[in-house]
Every structure is written in structure tokens, then in C-alpha cells.
Amino acid sequence: MRHALTQHLLVLRTALHRIFSSRLGGFFNILVIGIALSLPAGMYVLLQNVQGLVTQLSGTPQISLFLSMDAKSDDIDRLRRQLVQHPAIARVEFVARADALAQLKQSTGLADVIGGLQQNPLPDAFIVYPKSGEAQALEALRNELAKLSKVELAQLDSTWAYKLEALLSFGRILVLTLAGLLSLALVAITFNTIRLQILTQSSEIEVSKLIGATNSFIRRPFLYFGAAQGLLGGIMAWFIITIGLVLLNHQLKALSLLYASQFMLHPMSFGDSISLLLFSMYLGWLGAWLSVARHLSQIEPR
């Protein structure tokens, strides 16, 4: 057992030696694989981030009910009771028109303009927090609330989030397509690298076959090489993505300061990183396997 393990370690060492002994060529291969992988994986990370932002913002969908200007406090009390008793509503918040104006003055720096107004143009409003976050249920609830008396306008605040969500699923399909195509490219790169290796080592393969090497013995270093190259390419992709995110975050910091928000791009999660590495390793192995299966049988001793 220990013995078999040392054999495998020896083969792995040979494979790694082959990568590093052809310094520039090996490095370029790894770079190409890294870039090919970093495109879909990087887009995926960006999507994840935007997705996180969307759920954060639209996590509690709201419906704003703007009342007509002639609503009296009786009407408001009646409405409040109706809303609180409604089975689909979790919570209700009342925003008086005076408060709304004060808030507007404070947060937008339009104090001068607002101060010059003859009267408060804002209506009283209710902010309704529904129990369900489902798009259809929200729409139905909005329609129902819009028909209540003294309600001028019922507005679903999270419509934009659903539009963004639709855009995100489009992006997800784009990432998948790109990942599929570039994975094929990775397999092709490994296939070709291994093909060249088999050609340059044809004499070793021939001699090995003549002195009793099994096919799996001959195959092994090539498979290890493919897997190792794939893994190194995956690590390269990970670094490209991480460095890219750091650079983007640097820019975002300035931008989000302007908007007084704290938005930062999160790096690739640990699980996703491991998945990326395993996947790229598997693709390298697959390319090597295909190449070996295709080319090794062509070298028969005569």
C-alpha cells in the first residue's frame, strides 16, 4: 500500500517536473486556462454580488399607499384598522404628511425649495409590509388596496427588483453558456498539450510497452499532468478574479462614498473556490484522458 503510494507520488513528481521544466510554455498554458476560466467564474462572482444586493434591497417588499389630500383623521383610523386586520398584511406603518416633508427636507438638501412652498404637497401615506414576497400575490394585494376608499395610489416598491431579477437570470444563462464553451476550450488545450507530449515521448512509450508496462502505467503520468495543469490553471483563474475584485472594490469605495452606501463586492466564497479548482482539475484530467485514449494506441512497438 505504502509502496503503491510512493509509486503514485513518483509519477506526480514527474508530471510536475514536466510542467515546470518547460517553464515558459507551461506557464503560458496555465495562463490561457486561467484566463479562460476566470471569465465565466468572474462573471458568476459579480452576479452573486448583484444577487445579494437585490435580495438585501427587496428582502421586505413594501406597498406604499398614498391617500387622497382630503382624507380626514377618521378616514385614516378606519383605513389603519382595515389594514391591520387584513390577513395578507404583516405590518403597517403610517407616515404623516408633515413627517414626510420634514424627512424630505433633511435627506435631499432641498430645504430652500421646500421652504418656499406655500403648502405641503405631500399626502399622508401608509407603508404596508405584506406577508408573502411572491410577485403575483403582491400584485393582487396592490390591486385590492388600490380600491379602498380614500386611497389615491397604491405603489408596489419592489417592481424594479423583479425586473432586475429577470435580468439576472438572463445573465446567469450567459454565464452558463460561456462556462460551457470555455470548458470545452480548456479540454481542447489539454488535449493538444498531451498530444504533443505523447509525440515527443513516443520512444519512451514504445520502450516501456516493450519491457512490460501496462497501459495504465503509461497513461498515468499524462493524466496527472493534465489534472495538475488544470488545477494550476484554476488557481490562476482564482487569482485573476480576486485581484480583479480588489481593483473593482477600490473604485467602488470612492463611488459608494458619493452615494453614502456601504456596497462592496464580496470575494469568491470558500465553497465556490474549491468547486472552481476541482472543476478545472477535472477538465484537465478529462482532456488528458481523451488525448491519451486517442493517441496512445497509435504508438505500437514494431
Partner 1 sequence: MINFNQVNKRYPGGYQALKNLSLNIAEGEMVFITGHSGAGKSTLLKLIAAIERPNSGSVLVNNQNVGVLKERALPYLRRNLGIIFQDHKLLFDRNVFDNVLLPLQICGFDHRESAKRVRAALDKVGLLKREKSHPIALSGGEQQRLCIARAIVNRPSILLADEPTGNLDAAYAQEIMAIFKSFHQVGATLLISTHDTSVLQDTRVRTIDLKNGELQSTPVSGPT
Name the segment binding partner 1 (CB under 8 A); options: 2-10, 120-128, 185-193, 270-278: 2-10
Is position 9 an interface residue for partner 1 (rule: CB under 8 A)? no
Among 51, 132, 159, 208, binds partner 1 (CB under 8 A): 208
Among 20, 28, 129, 217, binds partner 1 (CB under 8 A): 217
Q: Which is nearer to partner 1, 66 or 225 (CB)?
A: 225
Name the segment binding partner 1 (CB under 8 A); options: 4-12, 66-74, 177-185, 229-237: 4-12
Is position 7 an interface residue for partner 1 (rule: CB under 8 A)? yes
Among 213, 248, 252, 290, binds partner 1 (CB under 8 A): 213
Lookup: cell for 230: 488544470
- Given the C-alpha cell 476566470, which residue does it identify? 38
Among 75, 139, 152, 204, binds partner 1 (CB under 8 A): 204
Q: Which is nearer to partner 1, 212 or 271 (CB)?
A: 212
SS3 string of 17-32? HHHHHCHHHHHHHHHH
Is position 301 an interface residue for partner 1 (rule: CB under 8 A)? yes
Is position 202 an interface residue for partner 1 (rule: CB under 8 A)? no
Q: How far is CA 190 from CA 37, 205, 210, 238, 280, in A?
A: 14, 19, 27, 19, 11
Q: Which amino acid is at 146?
A: A
Among 50, 206, 244, 272, binds partner 1 (CB under 8 A): 206
For residue 201, the minimal CB distance to partner 1 (Å) is 8
Is position 160 an interface residue for partner 1 (rule: CB under 8 A)? no
Lookup: cell for 287: 482532456
For residue 255, the minimal CB distance to partner 1 (Å) is 56
Is position 199 an interface residue for partner 1 (rule: CB under 8 A)? no
Q: Which is nearer to partner 1, 91 or 294 (CB)?
A: 294
Lookup: cell for 115: 421652504
β-sheet bridge partners, residue 153? 66
Is position 10 an interface residue for partner 1 (rule: CB under 8 A)? yes
**Phi, then psi, of 71 in degrees rounded to 5:** -70, 130
Q: Which of 41, 45, 16 is nearest to 280 (CA)?
A: 41
- What is the Cα–Cα distance from 211 to 206, expressed in whole angstroms? 9
Q: Which is nearer to partner 1, 64 or 201 (CB)?
A: 201
Is position 210 an interface residue for partner 1 (rule: CB under 8 A)? yes
Q: Under DSSP, is residue 67 helix (H, G, I), strand (E, B) or coil?
A: strand
Q: Which is nearer to partner 1, 28 or 217 (CB)?
A: 217
Is position 211 an interface residue for partner 1 (rule: CB under 8 A)? yes
**Phi, then psi, of 8 in degrees rounded to 5:** -65, -40
* Angle of helix 23-57 versus helix 2-21 axis, rounded to 10: 100
Q: Which is nearer to partner 1, 30 or 194 (CB)?
A: 194
Name the segment binding partner 1 (CB under 8 A); options: 60-68, 158-166, 199-207, 281-289: 199-207
Q: How far is CA 84 from CA 74, 78, 189, 205, in A?
A: 16, 10, 64, 81
- Given the C-alpha cell 495504465, which residue does it identify? 216
Specify whether the CB–CB gap between 277 and 234 falls below 8 A: yes
Question: Which residues of this chain interact with partner 1, rule CB under 8 A?
Answer: 3-4, 6-7, 10, 203-204, 206-215, 217, 301-302
